[in-house]
Structure 1
Amino acid sequence: MKTLLVFDFDHTIVNDNSDTWIVQCAPNKKLPNVLQNSYEKGKWTEYMGRIFTYLGEQGIREDDMKRIMIAIPYTPGMTELLHFIGQNKDHFDCIIISDSNTIFIDWILTHADVNNVFDQVFTNPATFDRFGNLTVQNFHVHHCATCPRNLCKKKVLEEFVAKQASDGERYSKIVYIGDGSNDLCPVTFLKKGDIAMPREGYTLQKRIANEIELIDSSISVWSTGAEILSHLKRLLEE
Structure 2
Amino acid sequence: MKNLISFDFDHTIIDDNSDTWVAKCSDKMLPDWLENSCRRGFWTEYMGRVFSYLGDQGIGAAEMETIMTSIPYTPGMIELLTFIADHKDSFDCIIISDSNVVFIDWILKAANLQGAIDKVFSNPAVFDNRGYLTVQCFHSHDCIECPVNLCKRKVLEDFLNHSKQQGLQYSKIIYVGDGRNDLCPLKCLKENDIAMPRKGYALDKLVSRICEHSLCLKPFVKVWSSGSEILFHLKQLYKTCIKEACTFRVNCVLLPTSFTSPFACSFPVGVFSDYLKYSITPWDIW
Alignment TM-score > 0.5, same fold: yes
Q: Report the AA paired with residue 153 of structure 1.
A: K
Aligned counterparts, 1:75-154, within 5 A: 75-154=74-153
Deviation at 1:214, TM superposition (A): 5.4
Partner of 2:6: 6
- Residues 1:237 and 2:236 aligned together: no
Q: Distance in 2 between matches of 1:79 and 1:227?
A: 12
Q: How does 1:1-238 map to 2 (within 5 A)?
A: 1-28=1-28, 30-212=29-211, 213=215, 215-238=217-240
1:37 Cα deviation from its structure 2 partner: 1.4
Unpaired segments ≥5 residues, structure 2: 241-286
1:101 and 1:60 mapped to 2: Cα distance?
Answer: 18
Task: Name the CA distance, whole Å, in 2 between partners of 1:2 and 1:11.
Answer: 26
What CA deviation, in whole Å up to 9, does each residue of 1:65-94 have, x standing for no partner?
000000000000000000000010000000
Higher relative contact order (CA 8 A, sep 6+): 1
When Rg is computed on C-alpha atoms for both structures, the one with the higher figure is 2
- CA positional deviation for 1:211: 2.0
| Structure 1, unpaired ranges of 5+ | none
TM-score by length of 2: 0.82
SS at match of 2:167: coil
Structure 2 CA distance for aligned equivalents of residues 19 and 214 of structure 1: 32
The letter for the 1-side match of 2:178 is: D
| Paired positions, count | 237
Q: Distance in 2 between matches of 1:204 and 1:54?
A: 31
Matches of 1:5 and 1:219, distance apart in 2: 14
AA aligned to 2:21 is: W
Deviation of the 1:27 alpha carbon: 2.6
Aligned to 2:271: none
- Secondary structure at the aligned position of 1:100 is classed as strand
Tell me how far 1:38 sits from its aligned partner.
Answer: 1.0
- 2:142 is paired with a residue whose SS is coil
SS in 1 for 2:144: coil
**Secondary structure class of the residue paired with 1:54:** helix
Which secondary structure does the structure 2 equivalent of 1:27 belong to? coil
1:161 maps to amino acid: L
- The one-letter code of the counterpart of 1:169 is L
Residue range with higher mean Cα deviation, 101-110 or 213-222: 213-222
State the SS of the aligned residue for 1:159.
helix
Shift of 1:136: 0.1
SS at match of 1:211: helix
1:94 is paired with a residue whose SS is: strand
Task: Note the C-alpha offset of 1:237.
Answer: 2.0
In the alignment, is the contact (CA less than 8 A) between 1:192 and 1:218 conserved in 2?
yes
Letter in 2 for 1:236: Y
Deviations 1:211-238 (A, max 9, x none): 2315100000000010000000111122
Deviations 1:28-83 (A, max 9, x none): 3x100111111101000000000000000111100010000000000000000000
**TM-align CA RMSD:** 0.7
Q: Cα deviations across residues 161-215 of structure 1 (Å, max 9, x unaligned)?
A: 0000110110001000000000000011110010000000000000111123151
